[in-house]
Structure 1
Amino acid sequence: MTGQNTQLTRLFEEIDRTPWGPHEQELVAQAVALAQELGDETLEYQARMRQTASANMGGLTDLMLSSFAWCLARHDADPARFPADIDNGAADLMWQFKWMASSLRGSPAFAPEQIAAVLDDMESHYRAAGLGPSGVLMARFEDAHAAGRLDEAEQLRIRLETTPRDSHSHCDACGRSQIAGFFADTGRDEEAIRLVEEMVEGGFSCGEEPEHALSLALLPYLRLDRGEEAKAAHLRSYRLAKDNPDLLTAIANSIRFCAITGNEARALALVERHLPWLAHDALNAQGHFGMLTAVGTALDAVAAAGHGTTPVRGADAAGLERFFGPHEGVWTAAELAPVAWAGAERLGARFDERDGTDNHARRLQNARQRAAERYEVPIRSDVFTAPAPETTPADADGWYRRALDISGYGAAAETLDILPHVIDEVDPERRAVLTGQRLAALVNLERIDEAQELLPDRIRTLRAAGRHAQADLEERFGLALFGTATAEDTAALAELLAESADPAAVLPPDTRGDIALTIAFGRIDDDPDAALELAEQAGALFARAGDARMGYGAEFAAIMALLRADRTEAGNARIERLLADPELPRGVRARTLELRARIRGGRGEFTEGAADADEASRLLAELGGRVSLANAQMLAGALWEDAEAPEQALARYRVGARLVEQTGGDVAAAKYRVARTMLSSGAADEAAELFGEVLQLEERTDVPAGSRAMTALMLARAFRAAGEGGQAYGVFGYAAELFGEAENPADQALALMSRAQILAQYEEPEQAVATLEEAAQIVRTAEDAPAAVVEVLHNLGQSYGARRDDRAFALFDEVEEIARANDAAWVIADVRDSRARALLAADRIDEGVAAALTASDAFAEVGDPQSAGGSALLAARALHGVGRAADAVAAYRAVLDQAEQIPPLRQIAALELGDVLQGLGREAEAAEVRRLAED
């Protein structure tokens, strides 16, 4: 028994330091179960008080209501044994009372009399506990607002303004959020925004704020033509709300925002991501109503944008059938939109029947009116995939051509997807071609057992087509002819090929060509010259047989052999010749274009390579090859990124990532590229959202710590660029932990250094220096990363120097020694500049000036006049600052010499030098120098 009590105490401690979420909910459930097992109602009360708060934060209304009722009954029976406040944050019975009426109001299953009784019960308990009326008034205000009794809500709001706040008033964040929502609903947009901005600027927050309040400000911002502020509010709100199912209303507000601002693809992505939340909390019907109207708004917008046939992934889940009804196959956007609106209408009718009002009918009407509004606020996180220009093949002939094109590109999985449409609908000759494609695709995908089972069907088809020699060959060698050939198989095939050269041999040219091509592909890596000879032999044989399709395969093998032999120019010549062929099938053309794109990329011809990848993408879109198109789009994105055209890269990456998400693949890697490109193009908020999503994907799939660390590092940088210093600080710390786990001290230290820089930015110098000292200790173990060692030690030295700590100079010496050993001349100059600043901060003027001028000379030697001028300006200002104006003149003139091609620096130096000369009484010189600032 004692052991169980100790275990429960430890569980409470763990619960209290664990963030809200599934893991914390599991811990609370364990605590309740253990307390019940012990039969100790006092401990169970402490566990259930925590459970009420946990269920509220997790959107588990049924559990919250039952837990609260149990606790209230115990408290009312014995307040001394079961106190209202167990001194544990939200585990305060009087505070939890606030959640009850709104929870009952949120479901039409509860009658108005029940809601009124809870509010009256809350008021009587507050009076008995000696608490002020503010908390009860706010609860009544929320109820009146939610029920549509707007006049009553306005009167309660006015009373709240004159009612003193007390310990059980709503917190600053929640109070502002509730009133802001009321103002937004009643057309007082400026007042709503003022309250939300006060919350954000004041740093007010609680469990679900400011994300909920920010979502309430979206429409007011739009109606006041403040689109950029609306965008920033949406991105922050969604980023904070996207993992909490209790914030279904905030998510619905974000979906609606995307739908009416021209971001239909993003709206659809959010719908797909959060549809499962409809089934999360059966009693949150108010949230369901808002979500269904948002889904209807979003999918109508998707259809209006020309993408009504786009599937809505996840909408056919069993848990959503009670909202949408049964449906055959996948819902499309156009199909689901009216069903979502109808579901909202049904729910609204139940609410209005309960309340005896038309409140929800009016809300639904307003939602439909808002759905027709349009504002242009582009967000670049998501994009639709372009529909294929070609329709689905209408007959077996069309499917046959499609299969040839897709297999010609080399898309094994997509070839297998197409074959069932056609393989049993064609004559034996064509079926023989298709069965060969099927075996090749299965072997390519390493589905060898399936291929082996289908080999007899292939041989029967060959014989039916009259190709007996090929059938005999495949009976003898089996799958070796499709990519599984061993050394023994290759040797036997080579012997057979040599024998078939005899004029008396009976093997037809196409079969001999197949043997030669099989051997060629097997030798490309080890003996490319022999492979080239065999590929050319195969090409000649296929030409004799009149088999152009296999001839293109032989030509591709020849190109690969030339490239493997480093005969790039010869390979390129054959590529150009192949692409010039007007009869070249689209799949082979796309494959050849991709190959040329990669070659061009390797040569640094990024723009030309990207154009090739774009053309390959166009062809693959025509063929409906979605997996292949995804790969081509990611290649195009990479080449445009290398061409330093981030906007072009982003457009391709977004399409590629969407396709990967739809067809299955490495979604995290694809979205990482999108996020990285967004960050480089200045879209830090969108990048932060995507990096966060990638990190979650990686954590769910147990990606190694080192990879997760890099994603966390990029997320932190995105937060920092977006001005979210607090979040960046936390994520830099997480990245450092992961780098430590991955035994990567260099990047671990750099992450800690970034954390220290944020501390310094927020005026926490002691913590900043302590963090840098920790980073320095770690980075010294990274013997193979001198750049990281230099950067961290240099930063620590600069921090010491700013504090007049003489330890700075030993670090500068160490950094300069490492830089010299690695021929890093610019770093040496930079360290000398830092040394000068530290000396000047310590009032060691002569030494500091000398160091600054030495740094200036060193920067000049490495061709950095901007930094050279900056160091000389540092010396000049130092001399002038201690009254040595005459000496400062020479230093200022050195700045002017360095700044001849740097107008801003030249202007600053000329103006300052003019002041110095005027102070020395040298008016003419001063005027002459000042004229330089005007040039």
Structure 2
Amino acid sequence: MARPKKRFQQLIEEIDRTPWGPAEQALVAEAVALAVELGDERLEYEARMRQTASANMGGATDVMLNSFAWCLAHHDADPQRFPADIDNGSADLMWQFKWMASSLRSSPAFSQEQIAAVLDDMESHYRAAGLGLSGVLTARFEDAWDAGRFDDAETLRVQLEATPRDEHSHCDACGRSQFAGFFAETDRDADAIRLVEEMIEGGFSCGEEPEHALSRVLLPYLRAGRLDDAKTAHLRSYRLAKDNPDNLRIVAGNIVFAAVTGNEARALAMVERHIGWLAHDGLNVDAHFAALAAFAVALDRVTAAGHGETPVRGADAASLVPLFGPHDGAWGAADLAASAWAAAERIGADFDQRDGTDGHSRALARMRALEAEQYDVPIRSDAFTAPAPSVAPVDADGWYERAMQLAQFGAEHEMLEALPRALEVEDPAKLAQLQSMRLGILIALDRADEAAELLPERIAALRAAGRDEQADLEERLGLATFGLNTPEATAGLEEEIAAAAALPAWSRGDLAISRASLHLQADEADAALDLAEVAARAFAEAEDTRLSNTTTLVAISALLSKGDIEAASSLLDRFLAQDDVSAGHRAQAHQTRARVRGAGSAYIEGATDADESCRLLAELGATRALAEAHLLAGALWEDADEPEKAVARYRLAARIGGEAGGDATATNFRMARAMLRAGDAVEAAELFGEVLQQEEQAEVSPGSRAMTASMLARSLSAAGEFGQAVGAHGYASELFGEAEEHADQAMAMTEQAKILARFDENDDAIALLESAAEIVRQAEDAAGARAEVLHSLGQAYGGRGDQRAFGLFDEVAALAQEHDAGWLLADVTDSRGRALAELGRVDEAVAAALTAADGFAGLGDSGAAGGSELFAARVLAGNQRADDAVPVYRSALEHGGEIPQLRQVAALELGDVLEALGRHSEAAEVRALTES
């Protein structure tokens, strides 16, 4: 183990390269403890200066105040040994001073006199150090604003704007964000929006920016009628803020947005996700006030939407009792809203008493006034489950019908849940049927011992119903007729079938269908079909429609098992055309036909079947089965290239499955993917981020997480958030590498490089592509990935006139020829032409580009053909060969006939070339094409 001082230095280095968060906080705590153990106050000072900054970013106010006070006392006692600035970012006492008054103000436990003393002490230190007063004015402005002294705050704001900026001023991001928040709160929405948009357009960011600024202009955007901008700002702000408990105030603003925009289910989900944060930082009471008011607004909207009895998960935590008070059972939305308002009012009164103002009561009044505001900004990642049209049975006979229908579909768990009330029926024949269904389900769930204990009840019910021969049969066979798959059970069935001639028709059918099911399990489809036919005749003789239809479904399964799709489809169609099919059987048949049609690429028809199965299951009151049915419907609508419809089905599947206690991670991945396909990149990015977080917590395999990270990166790119997309692609490549999925790792690196090149970070892009090329060569069976990576690296080299490009183009061309990839061959030929042009090899460049154009045209891609010709024409025109360029431009025009942008560019450039050649009438004629 390293010596203590060496270990301390290692910790400091690790702290300085670790992002803010729990891991970094643990390292800081270890460094402080080690310095204390060493008894070295200079080292302790280094560690505690970092601890102050760390605690500020992590919302550990008590730690921050204690650490700062220790450091300030040591600095004041010996400024030389304990300098104000240790040259480590925010580890600067004078910078940290700005956090102190704000932290004291955040709790009514600190008096106004204490806050004023800190502000005065701050100004004294600044003046003594010869620093500018911008930082002091900022702290005084924040104090006046937070206390509700708006006139004083406005005076200080104006003074602050006139004061020269210095190294202790707020950064561009924080300064704009702060003023934007003040403007929004003082009804200057246009000014608030202007400042935030300046910040975004300038690319300014900081520890909690731009997420804080974006949250501050959500309501101003809505009031200005800029609903799309508001939605984009919300999704970005929330995605950036949702993982740090210190961002509670930011999250509160986003919850209010969801509440007033018709997204009550989303608002409830956000409340549930963050309600535990109220216990995170006991001294940040002002953030608790803001959050409680936001929660109350949201829960009022949930109640108004008809879901006031919905339980709010997490609200009954013991740590929240001091805020909400004791409660019997789970908190419903309506009750919790009232308690949240009461807690916010109580806290607000404490602040107003401390400040001698009515600032917090006015803030609450503004929140209550939001009841009159409503905007339509649908966000589809959360929604309340549509109430199922099912009506609960009112008596035992009704529950009997419900249980039987559920069993006929195969909704095993739901049938067992309905069974206790169904078993209250008095008819012994019905009891016998219920017992039969129960035994079959228990066997299917591998609960044979439990089934064996219940078999005597089934036999007793049969005897009570006057069916002694069937009772005798089941006494001899035990659980064989209920699906038990053992050699003894199979032998018993075979023996009874051989001697079945004297049995009643129903019993003969029962034996046959039981053995047919075992044949199916053994992949003996023909034998299953033969016995299904025997069973069908027997049940028809017994006039049992229910079991006749069950037998048809077994026959359909057998036909599908042997691959006879045409016969199975025909039988399914005839079956669904019958008018004597129960809802349970009909739902099962529609679901089976949905899968068959999906497998045959009849996606729309299959999706329609799946939707009908969902409708029937909803009527039956199914839960888990309904979630799975919606998942199937979503997959089929996605395959049908109807992502909007897929999103709706996936959302229902996720919500129903989640309410039933299931894991909705996989469904949410599908929903996010469909959102991306539907063009909702920002929403998709948010949902992919949540899925990735859930996968991290569940410690799923690196390869699976890598795929999610890759999809997150694609969504971020589509949403225009390229900086975060680079990071997500980088994380995906790390995970793919960990999973030894070399082709995918190289592709992630390539996508990362493309974004870097887009912003002229060409050296970094090429370095990434070179690494990707080395990695992808390890994936010999991934020709597509090798071609993409090597082609991209070749293009990057070619853009710099690097001769190494041509060897890579040769490799890609060879892959294209080997795999008969004509379009790729044309594309790499086009890239070769562009690289040749960079080297001034005009004739070769033009020849390559025209060869590429011929290749594209031969494949029917007129747009790509025209693009290659346009490039060739430009090369000729740019090298004083205008006459040669004219026919090439004309060919590009012809290929661009149905591509307006290509046609317009080619026409304009050709017009200029003709004009330069003195062919004025031709130039005018060509230019006229741009107006047609």
| Fold shared by both chains (TM-score > 0.5) | yes
Tell me the equivalent position of 1:783.
780
Taking a change above 3 Å as real, the CA distance of residues 434 and 57 of structure 1, as seen in their structure-2 partners, is farther
2:907–2:930 CA contact under 8 A, matched in 1: yes
Using the alignment, how far apart are the partners of 1:465 and 1:278 within structure 2?
A: 62
Cα deviation for residue 849 of structure 1 reads: 1.6
2:480–2:493 CA contact under 8 A, matched in 1: no
Tell me the equivalent position of 1:516.
512
Amino acid at match of 1:629: L
Taking a change above 3 Å as real, the CA distance of residues 911 and 25 of structure 1, as seen in their structure-2 partners, is closer
Tell me the equivalent position of 1:726.
723
Cα deviation for residue 695 of structure 1 reads: 0.9
Q: Does 1:250 align with 2:219?
A: no
Cα deviation for residue 133 of structure 1 reads: 2.6
Tell me the equivalent position of 1:199.
199
Taking a change above 3 Å as real, the CA distance of residues 512 and 325 of structure 1, as seen in their structure-2 partners, is farther
Q: Deviations along 1:386-430, whole A, 9 cap, x unmatched?
A: 011233333323322222222222122222333344435655543
Taking a change above 3 Å as real, the CA distance of residues 784 and 122 of structure 1, as seen in their structure-2 partners, is same
Tell me the equivalent position of 1:423.
423
SS at match of 1:87: coil
Q: Deviations along 1:141-171, whole A, 9 cap, x unmatched?
A: 2122111111221222222223333332323
Using the alignment, how far apart are the partners of 1:671 and 1:649 within structure 2?
A: 12
User: Equivalences for 1:470-509 in 2 at 5 Å?
Assistant: 470-471=470-471, 473-474=473-474, 477-501=477-501, 503=502, 507-509=503-505
Q: Deviations along 1:733-764, whole A, 9 cap, x unmatched?
A: 11111111111111111111111111111111
* Of 860, 863, 876, the match for 2:860: 863
Cα deviation for residue 458 of structure 1 reads: 4.8
Once the two structures are overlaid, the 10-residue window that deviates more, 904-913 or 602-611, is 904-913
1:268–1:312 CA contact under 8 A, matched in 2: yes
Once the two structures are overlaid, the 10-residue window that deviates more, 315-324 or 901-910, is 901-910
Tell me the equivalent position of 1:293.
293
Using the alignment, how far apart are the partners of 2:889 and 2:393 within structure 1?
A: 77
Amino acid at match of 2:509: G
Tell me the equivalent position of 2:278.
278
Taking a change above 3 Å as real, the CA distance of residues 621 and 325 of structure 1, as seen in their structure-2 partners, is farther
Cα deviation for residue 108 of structure 1 reads: 2.4
1:107–1:284 CA contact under 8 A, matched in 2: yes
Amino acid at match of 1:89: G
Cα deviation for residue 912 of structure 1 reads: 4.1
Tell me the equivalent position of 1:694.
691
Tell me the equivalent position of 1:50.
50
Q: Does 1:801 align with 2:792?
A: no
Tell me the equivalent position of 1:67.
67
Using the alignment, how far apart are the partners of 1:321 and 1:448 within structure 2?
A: 46
Using the alignment, how far apart are the partners of 2:104 and 2:857 within structure 1?
A: 74
Using the alignment, how far apart are the partners of 1:464 and 1:104 within structure 2?
A: 79
Tell me the equivalent position of 2:405.
405
Once the two structures are overlaid, the 10-residue window that deviates more, 786-795 or 391-400, is 391-400
Cα deviation for residue 450 of structure 1 reads: 4.6
Tell me the equivalent position of 2:671.
674
Tell me the equivalent position of 2:22.
22
Q: Deviations along 1:805-849, whole A, 9 cap, x unmatched?
A: 122122211211111111111111111111111112211111112
SS at match of 1:205: coil
CA RMSD of aligned residues (A): 2.5
Cα deviation for residue 303 of structure 1 reads: 2.8
Cα deviation for residue 637 of structure 1 reads: 1.3
Aligned length: 931
SS at match of 1:553: helix
Tell me the equivalent position of 1:737.
734
Tell me the equivalent position of 2:845.
848
Tell me the equivalent position of 2:757.
760
Using the alignment, how far apart are the partners of 1:245 and 1:309 within structure 2?
A: 28
Q: Deviations along 1:588-611, whole A, 9 cap, x unmatched?
A: 211111111111112221111111
1:637–1:648 CA contact under 8 A, matched in 2: yes
Cα deviation for residue 786 of structure 1 reads: 0.9
Tell me the equivalent position of 1:433.
433
Q: Does 1:350 align with 2:353?
A: no
Using the alignment, how far apart are the partners of 2:563 and 2:708 within structure 1?
A: 36
Using the alignment, how far apart are the partners of 1:480 and 1:635 within structure 2?
A: 33
Using the alignment, how far apart are the partners of 1:2 and 1:741 within structure 2?
A: 29
Using the alignment, how far apart are the partners of 1:515 and 1:696 within structure 2?
A: 52
* Of 869, 880, 885, the match for 1:883: 880
1:413–1:445 CA contact under 8 A, matched in 2: no
Sequence identity percentage = 63
Once the two structures are overlaid, the 10-residue window that deviates more, 169-178 or 259-268, is 169-178
1:691–1:715 CA contact under 8 A, matched in 2: yes
2:396–2:424 CA contact under 8 A, matched in 1: no
SS at match of 1:391: coil
Q: Deviations along 1:302-331, whole A, 9 cap, x unmatched?
A: 233334344333333333333333334433
User: Equivalences for 1:377-416 in 2 at 5 Å?
Assistant: 377-416=377-416
SS at match of 2:485: coil
Q: Does 1:663 align with 2:625?
A: no
1:753–1:771 CA contact under 8 A, matched in 2: yes
Amino acid at match of 2:300: D
Tell me the equivalent position of 1:97.
97
Q: Deviations along 1:484-522, whole A, 9 cap, x unmatched?
A: 412342132111222222x2xxx5444443332222111
Once the two structures are overlaid, the 10-residue window that deviates more, 722-731 or 427-436, is 427-436
Tell me the equivalent position of 2:572.
575
* Of 748, 753, 764, the match for 1:751: 748
Taking a change above 3 Å as real, the CA distance of residues 871 and 275 of structure 1, as seen in their structure-2 partners, is same
Q: Which runs of 5+ in 1 are unaligned?
A: none
Tell me the equivalent position of 1:119.
119
2:477–2:492 CA contact under 8 A, matched in 1: no
Q: Does 1:631 align with 2:628?
A: yes
Once the two structures are overlaid, the 10-residue window that deviates more, 750-759 or 122-131, is 122-131
Cα deviation for residue 907 of structure 1 reads: 4.8
Cα deviation for residue 470 of structure 1 reads: 4.8
Using the alignment, how far apart are the partners of 2:169 and 2:89 within structure 1?
A: 14
Using the alignment, how far apart are the partners of 1:634 and 1:354 within structure 2?
A: 55
SS at match of 2:869: helix
Q: Deviations along 1:680-725, whole A, 9 cap, x unmatched?
A: 1111111111111111111111111111111111111111111111
1:736–1:752 CA contact under 8 A, matched in 2: yes
2:345–2:364 CA contact under 8 A, matched in 1: yes
Cα deviation for residue 626 of structure 1 reads: 2.3
Using the alignment, how far apart are the partners of 1:931 and 1:120 within structure 2?
A: 73
Taking a change above 3 Å as real, the CA distance of residues 399 and 372 of structure 1, as seen in their structure-2 partners, is farther
Amino acid at match of 2:139: A
Once the two structures are overlaid, the 10-residue window that deviates more, 120-129 or 776-785, is 120-129
Taking a change above 3 Å as real, the CA distance of residues 448 and 46 of structure 1, as seen in their structure-2 partners, is farther
Using the alignment, how far apart are the partners of 2:567 and 2:583 within structure 1?
A: 23
Q: Does 1:709 align with 2:706?
A: yes
Tell me the equivalent position of 2:645.
648
Using the alignment, how far apart are the partners of 2:401 and 2:647 within structure 1?
A: 33
Taking a change above 3 Å as real, the CA distance of residues 510 and 861 of structure 1, as seen in their structure-2 partners, is same
Taking a change above 3 Å as real, the CA distance of residues 150 and 546 of structure 1, as seen in their structure-2 partners, is same
Tell me the equivalent position of 1:238.
238
Amino acid at match of 2:748: A
Taking a change above 3 Å as real, the CA distance of residues 88 and 870 of structure 1, as seen in their structure-2 partners, is closer
Amino acid at match of 2:811: E
SS at match of 1:775: helix
Could you tell me the TM-score, scaled by structure 2's length?
0.94
Cα deviation for residue 91 of structure 1 reads: 2.7
Using the alignment, how far apart are the partners of 2:41 and 2:472 within structure 1?
A: 82
SS at match of 2:376: coil
Cα deviation for residue 32 of structure 1 reads: 3.1
